Homo-oligomer: A and B are copies of this chain.
Amino acid sequence: MVETIQWTDDGVVMIDQTRLPREEVYVTCRTYGEVAEAIRSMVIRGAPAIGVAAAMGVALGVLRSTDRFEEICDTLARTRPTAVNLFWAIGRMKKLYESLQGQPIEQIRARLVAEAQQIRLEDIAINEAIGRNGAELVPDGKTILTHCNAGALATAGYGTALGVVRAAIASGKRVDVFADETRPFLQGARLTVWELQQDNIAATLITDNMAGHFLKSGRIGCVVVGADRIAANGDVANKVGTYSVAVLAKENGVPFFVAAPISTLDLTLASGDEIPIEQRAAAEVTHVFGVPIAPDATRVENPAFDVTPNRYVTAIITERGVARAPYSESLRAL
Residues of A within 8 A of B (CB): 21-22, 147, 178, 180-184, 186, 189-190, 193-194, 197, 202-214, 216, 240-241, 243-244, 247-248, 251, 285-286, 288-289, 291-295, 297-303, 306
The answer to whether residues A212 and B294 also contact, given A206-B300, A207-B184 and a CB cut-off of 8 A, is no
- Identical chains in the assembly: 2
CA distance A210 to B291 in the complex (A): 21
CA distance A244 to B245 in the complex (A): 9
The answer to whether residues A208 and B209 also contact, given A181-B285, A295-B194 and a CB cut-off of 8 A, is yes
Which residues from chain B contact A295 at a C-beta distance below 8 Å? 21, 193-194, 197
Q: Which of B243, B285, B299 sits near A207, CB closer than 8 Å? A: B285
Q: Which residue of B lies closest to A147 (CB)?
A: B209
Which residues from chain B contact A194 at a C-beta distance below 8 Å? 294-295
Chain B: minimal CB distance from A36 (Å): 26
Which residues from chain B contact A182 at a C-beta distance below 8 Å? 209
Chain B: minimal CB distance from A46 (Å): 17
Q: Which of B203, B211, B243, B291 sits near A216, CB closer than 8 Å? A: B243
Q: Are A240 and B294 in contact (CB under 8 A)?
A: no
Chain B: minimal CB distance from A272 (Å): 11
Most B Cβ at <10 Å: residue of A181, A190, A248 = A181
The answer to whether residues A289 and B286 also contact, given A212-B243, A301-B214 and a CB cut-off of 8 A, is no
Q: Which residue of B lies closest to A184 (CB)?
A: B207
Q: Which residue of B lies closest to A252 (CB)?
A: B247
CA distance A202 to B297 in the complex (A): 12
15 contacts between A and B (CB under 8 A): A147-B209, A181-B285, A183-B183, A184-B207, A186-B294, A189-B294, A205-B299, A206-B302, A207-B240, A208-B209, A209-B240, A209-B241, A210-B303, A213-B240, A216-B306
Q: Which residue of B lies closest to A244 (CB)?
A: B212
Q: Are B180 and A209 in contact (CB under 8 A)?
A: yes
Which residues from chain B contact A206 at a C-beta distance below 8 Å? 285, 300-302
Chain B: minimal CB distance from A282 (Å): 8
CA distance A194 to B214 in the complex (A): 30
Chain B: minimal CB distance from A8 (Å): 27
Q: Which of B178, B203, B208 sits near A208, CB closer than 8 Å? A: B208
The answer to whether residues A190 and B21 also contact, given A205-B286, A248-B247, A299-B205 and a CB cut-off of 8 A, is no
Which residues from chain B contact A178 at a C-beta distance below 8 Å? 301
Question: Which A-B residue pairs are the 8 nearest by beta carbons?
Answer: A209-B241, A212-B244, A183-B207, A208-B209, A213-B306, A189-B294, A21-B295, A288-B288
